[in-house]
Structure 1
Amino acid sequence: MTIANSTSTDDLGSAAQRDRRKRILDATYELATAGGFDAVQMRAVAEQADVALGTLYRYFPSKIHLLVSALGRQFEETAVRLNEREIPGDTQADRVLYVLKRMARGMQGDPKLTEALTRAFMFADSSVANEIHVVGMSMTSIVTHAMHGGVPAEGSITDEDVAVARVLGDVWLSALVAWVTGRSTAAETAAHMDTAIHLILRD
């Protein structure tokens, strides 16, 4: 079976290609913010981004590839912002909770966009493995940054740190899915994360 993957930023050789990919993802955010998952149609994205429909499909083979890539970019940008600041909190649990609660509040404040990105993540199959990997790596970076209270010193992140970060990232995404699907309120989501983080990070 041939697996089609989205074109990542690293794959793009020219400034024009990188700009085109950025316009596509910007258009995706705008459409999803206005109308949620159903509003993100490939033809509408192409028109909004001012690219040919065939060009869009060369960058992103499907709507799911497109939306999961948008989620990945959102998390990558969050990771970059975190690298520019110290994370408040006396313990690892305090710092991770601070960061993940801020992320959750930000996403809950833009419910249609969050619904679109999260639904795509839920629907993704093995053909979207590369895009899912980007999301997971960004979440791991965000959580390990919070655990260390700032930019970790080179070589300071252990295998155990990464394993813990992955588990916490999975729990956070699961909690986000529960909120998007109406199975928990924002307050219940925050309480669930508080419990999970303090159970795992007993420092």
Structure 2
Amino acid sequence: MLRQAFVSLRLFFGHLQDIPPLPRNALLPAAALLIAYPALSILLGPGEGGQAFVTAFLLALALRGALRFETLLRQLLGQFSHHETAAMALLVTLTPLVLLASVGDPLWCQRSLSAYYIVVGSMFVSDMLAGRSDMAGRFWPLDQMEAHLPAMTRAMVLYNLGFLILNETMIRAVDPSHWLVYWALLPALAHLVLNAVIMAIAQVDDDACA
């Protein structure tokens, strides 16, 4: 068991250099955030740092949601009708924006990321305990991933737990303005980690079958 964990960890770090680059448009929300926050801080003036934080964060979050909207539609279309898909996609995209805008608290913005990891991680935990791979199958529907879905389910439990702990640590350890930089760079970090996990699991499973 310990040896297998060590091998998986070695493969994970070995695959970091083979990760394909993150699409450029995925960095647009980060650019918008890093430009909007200092600009709003100046425009709104002293004492309005919280408002500048929330406004810049919501702008970047809305842009990120818009970039992911088409992917979300494709994932939902296989399970629901066109009208249901459109309604659910809008609900998933707009609800966090409306909620965070109505509260207007930077801490709620920070904790919304933790809530995301808790919700998604709980779904993977449910699948793992039930011996299913439904969530992993929705994330990776390709035939070549089918054999790796049970391992990916377990890995995604640890992945979401790890990023949940990281976010809570960042909330407590750094200034909110520095947390915004972390959030802006998070897609690149998540892309790196997730793809390394996928490659490592695929190689471990393939070696076990050889």
Same fold (TM > 0.5): no
Structure with the higher helix share, 1 or 2:
2
Q: Point out which structure has higher relative CO (alpha carbons under 8 A, 6+ apart).
A: 2
Structure having the higher Rg: 2
Question: Given the two structures, how large is their TM-score scaled by the length of structure 1?
Answer: 0.28
> TM-score, normalization: structure 2?
0.28
